[in-house]
Amino acid sequence: MKEIMFTKMLQDKTIPQLAQIAHEWGLDGFDLCVRPDYPVNPDNAYDELPKAVEYMKSEGLVIPMVTGNFDLLTPDHPTAVPLLKAMDKADVRLLKLGYFKYDPWTMNYQVEVARVKAILKSWLSLARQYNVKICYHTHSNKNIGINGAAMAHLLEDLDPLYFGAYIDTGHLRAEGEDFATALGMVRPWLSIVSVKDMLVERITKENHGSTKNHWLSAGQGMVDWTYVFDCLRRVGFDGPVSIHCEFHDQGDPFMVRAQREAEFFRPFFQTKPAE
């Protein structure tokens, strides 16, 4: 497994600065956010993504995946072909799409699942042409594909060579789904794992209870990290594990806390499987 970090929160950092951060924090590389106003963006990706990959390689680092813009959902999106061309040129093989929204009050779930499955399947031609795996992320709160069970429904007829599941520890915990269960349901497509921590707080609402989700620094929430990494090793997962640093709790400056997050996870990557 490679310990990488999502660059969403590092928008102001150049590629050389990211490499320096990786060395200082003990990272193996990055999940590169390719969005407008980032150093590598949809307009310059064909030239700049290969340069970024080569620079990282010269530093002993990797960029195994790219995260597109939030609205990159369909293969006819204006950035789709240019981005996949750039990824093929740079030898980056994993692409994370945006999110398909779901409103339970205005949408028919079965209709939306069928629609999203058809859209994902429509990526196959480009995925084959550019040898890029199209990956979708388990994200809680009014999205299609909120957990492993929902993700399995989306991917069940799709070729694991070209379509991948991107499961997220924090969002699975928010949805109350056991990590091993989620892993088992999407195992043929498992391509990327995101690590973030969260806590479900019971709050009082009028004369009864309710809940509130808190996205916290790793180790402060409800995710059992020993269990998560044991599960990944048991299925032989050897792909990238992306640290997201999307904690909302207060504390030290972001860069201090992000470095602490990287350091928190490092022992889990170094731990050998049980005999």
Looking at residue 123, its pLDDT comes to 98
Looking at residue 275, its pLDDT comes to 44
What is the tens place of the pLDDT at every residue in 129-151? 999 999 999 999 899 999 999 99
Query: In whole angstroms, what is the distance from residue 231 CA to residue 146 CA?
Result: 20
What is the tens place of the pLDDT at every residue in 183-234? 999 999 999 999 999 999 999 988 899 999 999 999 999 999 999 999 999 9
Collect contacts of 59-62 with beta carbons under 8 A, ≥24 apart: 59/19, 59/22, 59/23, 61/19, 61/22, 61/27, 61/28, 61/29, 61/30, 62/2, 62/4, 62/28, 62/29, 62/30, 62/240
Q: Average pLDDT, stretch 231-248?
A: 94
Residue 159: CB atoms within 10 A of its CB come to: 14
- Mean model confidence pLDDT for the chain: 95
Looking at residue 194, its pLDDT comes to 97
**CB-based burial label for 208 (10 Å; 0-12, 13-18, 19+):** exposed
Report residue 271's pLDDT band, with 50, 70 and 90 as the boundaries.
low
Query: In whole angstroms, what is the distance from residue 69 CA to residue 33 CA?
Result: 8
Report residue 15's pLDDT band, with 50, 70 and 90 as the boundaries.
very high
Please give the CATH architecture assigned to the domain spanning 2-270: Alpha-Beta Barrel (3.20)
Cα atoms in the Cβ-side hemisphere of radius 13 Å centred on 176? 2
Query: In whole angstroms, what is the distance from residue 185 CA to residue 96 CA?
Result: 19
Looking at residue 199, its pLDDT comes to 95
141 vs 60: which has the higher pLDDT: 60
Query: In whole angstroms, what is the distance from residue 92 CA to residue 54 CA?
Result: 11
Report residue 173's pLDDT band, with 50, 70 and 90 as the boundaries.
very high
Phi, psi angles (nearest 5°) of residue 6: -75, 130
Looking at residue 270, its pLDDT comes to 83
Query: In whole angstroms, what is the distance from residue 240 CA to residue 136 CA?
Result: 14
Query: In whole angstroms, what is the distance from residue 172 CA to residue 169 CA?
Result: 5
Looking at residue 141, its pLDDT comes to 87
Where do the domains of the chain lie?
A: 2-270
